[in-house]
Structure 1
């Protein structure tokens, strides 16, 4: 049971989506040190989503007919803003201290605005026969591990592209992937 929960969470929650793509992009665009607070915010926000799903709070919110479209619209606006920030980040060969890396609050905001997070966490949570506390604890650890892997991959990937032209291309590709995965999650 535990192994199946871990595998399911790795596949469903760890697949590319707004959160994983954004932490990879921010790690690549801003480096490990400057993106650490954003990573921490994503983890905290995603764990908040997990708790909202586990306690039934999200089901209660979505039961309000006019609230769901408002939440979805706010999510899309923020994710588009983050994609813009990633696309316009300075090349890694010329780090610009004046360009602020996305913040802890930005990570939290993206995590709670991420439609894929709710769907993926709910699917994995509902599909496991383990008790609620055990599922929540295992999924919280998986959230940390998944985000760490994507963040480290982004930072490692970013080191390869110190050329300004390649850096710009990578940032644009990550920004486009963020928009595309969000559009897919919304549909």
Structure 2
């Protein structure tokens, strides 16, 4: 007798898709609202992020994330947008731990302090790996900004308006994706 819970499938054709020549890593502080962070993950996956690391900063209000839930959000967005590669979501790490890692890519930090900043669109080149730090509500602390500079991160502007954490992350993701189209 046939089992109604069984299904047979056959692969009738395959198509090899080559990954893009660049990698975008967004290190984004968790937002107070879990829904806003999930929204960011969904949209960044659709646009084309490769890796995401939640970073716990001096001003972070949320320190605990439901990683299983975030993984499901990314998987769903990947399927919906017909992407062939699943972005990697790392476990949350402290800001200090993250910037202490050995980074070989182009490094940027988006913050709100009033100083000279580079325009992200003019700093990113096609086919270059990029890591961008996006801070929490309340921004990075002055100490964190100085630490980033010592590690080679450059300050970037994402436009005139002051953006929410998740919006800043999407603007940064979109800028890099468009340059690499």
Query: Normalising by the residue count of structure 1, what TM-score does the alignment of the two structures yield?
Result: 0.26
Higher helix fraction (1 or 2) = 1
Query: Normalising by the residue count of structure 2, what TM-score does the alignment of the two structures yield?
Result: 0.27
User: Which structure exhibits the higher relative contact order, with contacts defined as CA atoms closer than 8 Å and separated by 6 or more residues?
Assistant: 1
Higher strand fraction (1 or 2) = 2
